[in-house]
Amino acid sequence: QQQVKQSPQSLIVQKGGISIINCAYENTAFDYFPWYQQFPGKGPALLIAIRPDVSEKKEGRFTISFNKSAKQFSLHIMDSQPGDSATYFCAATPAGNQFYFGTGTSLTVIP
């Protein structure tokens, strides 16, 4: 049973475009929502994270939008660059417990 559902599985975006990856969850005990970025041959690395007390968090070109009532959160990559091509994982965790990861989205940014 997937605790966090992620879509799409793959995404192709033109350079300069906006990449959007969506995640949904059911467990209302989740209180921390990170996104991890993974390049080929490497382990995932923390990109950005949000807590449910805010609806949006922005770090450079990366923004998390959080909708607590809908139990959904999304990653937006503005002005997407070829260097952003990677696999992105959303995750969620309740306090004092393990991380639950989505199945990942393979992003390709075409020059």
- Nearer Cβ to another protein, position 31 or 57? 31
57 lies in the binding site for another protein (CB under 8 A): no
User: Rule CB under 8 A: is residue 45 a binding residue for another protein?
Assistant: yes
Closest CA to 76 of 22, 10, 6: 22
Query: For another protein, what does the binding mask look like between residues 62 and 101, x meaning CB under 8 A?
Result: ---------------------------x---xxxxxxxxx
Helices within the chain (DSSP H only): none
Amino acid at 49: A
Q: Please identify which residue in 15, 42, 58, 68 interacts with another protein, judged by CB under 8 A.
A: 42
Amino acid at 84: D
Task: Give the type of residue at 6.
Answer: Q
